[in-house]
Amino acid sequence: RRIAAGAAAAEQRWMRGQRWREQRAPWRQQALGWTTQRGCGFAASASAEGAEAPAPAPAQRTNAAKMGFSVLERRGYTPDKLARGKAEFAVVAVGPHQFKVSPDDVIVTEKLIGAGVGDVVSLENVLLWGNAQDTLIGRPTVDGVTVTAGVEEQFRDATIIVHKKKRRKGYQRTNGHRQQLTKLRVLDIAGGEEAASAADRWEEHDVEEPKGEAPN
């Protein structure tokens, strides 16, 4: 008897759903037909005009200002751009992190949105530069010094499990997160020697002190 009652209830639910689908069918067909006709008409008008150029694509989303970089060359990263044998280093800020780098070093940063694999980027926030003879400390950055790097890979880090629980509330949530990262190879550190020589010239510059009255 219970099985028969359950089957009857299921049949009634199916009949109600069938009636709803039949009532909705004309509206759905009309909507699909309108969409198809509108698309065909747009394609026909575009082919008829011919000379009209397509609308420009929106600007690509980027976080260059936040991360402190700019793209110099698209797909311009080649091994011959690597400056070998330069005994100098720099401390560069990429987003919230700082890295001490030399030519041919590899660093992993948060994703540089807008920079693709093979691009050459300029890391602009150089906090410190040095070699065997000189060291320049930026206030906050060193003017005239740039770090050039090539984008080798865009990838995601390993999964981090985030578990939340509220005791005595029956609330538990488990989520995973994979941080998007960018792998960079430092190609060159340019402008450091020129900046050091300019700093030396400034230190050697004699500044005339104001003449005051002699103390009594």
DSSP 18-83: HHHHHHHHHHHHHHHHHHHHHHHHHHHHHHHH-SPPPPPPPPPP--HHHHTEEEEETT---GGG--
Band of residue 44 on the pLDDT scale cut at 50, 70, 90: very low
Domain final residue, candidates 12, 40, 56: 56
List the domain range (segments joined by +) for residue 15. 1-56
Task: Give me the pLDDT at residue 213, please.
Answer: 58
Band of residue 200 on the pLDDT scale cut at 50, 70, 90: low
The predicted model gives 164-190 an average pLDDT of: 93
Q: Is the peptide bond before 26 cis (omega within 30 degrees of 0)?
A: no
**Distance, CA of 142 to CA of 193 (rounded, Å):** 12
pLDDT at 43 over 60: no
Band of residue 50 on the pLDDT scale cut at 50, 70, 90: very low
**Distance, CA of 77 to CA of 149 (rounded, Å):** 8
pLDDT at 106 over 60: yes
pLDDT at 176 over 50: yes
Same structural domain, 27 and 75:
no
Arithmetic mean of pLDDT over the chain: 76
- Candidates 166, 195, 184; CA nearest to 101 is 184
User: Which amino acid makes up residue 66?
Assistant: K
User: Which amino acid makes up residue 157?
Assistant: D
Is 124 contained in some domain? yes
Same structural domain, 147 and 177:
yes
Domain count, the chain: 2
